[in-house]
Amino acid sequence: QMLGLDLNALDAVAVAKGPGSFTGLRIGSATAKGLAFALDKPILSIPTVDALAYNLCGHRDLVCPVMDARRNQTYTGLYRFDGNQMQVIKEQCAVDICEIIAEINHIGSPVVFLGDGVPVFRPYISENISVPYSFAPPHLNRQRAGAVAALAVQYYIEGKMIKGSEHR
């Protein structure tokens, strides 16, 4: 009401599908499903790691989000940008930090890291990476709703949506 937004003007409802806080994901998913069902709109389920990478939309280097999954495990993926178009090199996954660093070394391209796993894995990265690397600035280093929304636009254009009644 404060925005003067008519909810019927929405084309779809976007939601981060995880990984993340179990409670936060459940609340977000339930809210998105309720809105989509009531408005008869589709849902765009955006992988959290993909959205985190999208914070660096347009970056010239390989992008590697790292979310701390504990016990040397990370939720991660590898991405490149061609302008504003995101290319998934390695889909969102949960792996040991040594596995993703080995894959980056094998690819051989400069890389930028971001995410809440950076402070946890920074020493390991610094000691084991063999390509030029950097870390995203603090204001781009965490999940952002704006990145979920911007990536949702791409998903919408590509038809990557499901009916609100089918969302889990």
CA angle 144, 126, 147 (to 5 degrees): 10
Residue 20: pLDDT band by 50, 70, 90 thresholds?
confident
As a whole number, mean pLDDT of residues 126-146 equals: 95
pLDDT at 119: 96
pLDDT at 11: 93
pLDDT at 168: 57
More confident residue, 162 or 126: 126
Each residue of 77-117: pLDDT tens digit? 999 999 989 999 999 999 999 999 999 999 999 999 999 99
| Whether the predicted model's global pTM rises above the 0.85 cut | yes
More confident residue, 164 or 9: 9
pLDDT above 80 (res 164): no
The pLDDT mean for the chain works out to 93
As a whole number, mean pLDDT of residues 37-64 equals: 95
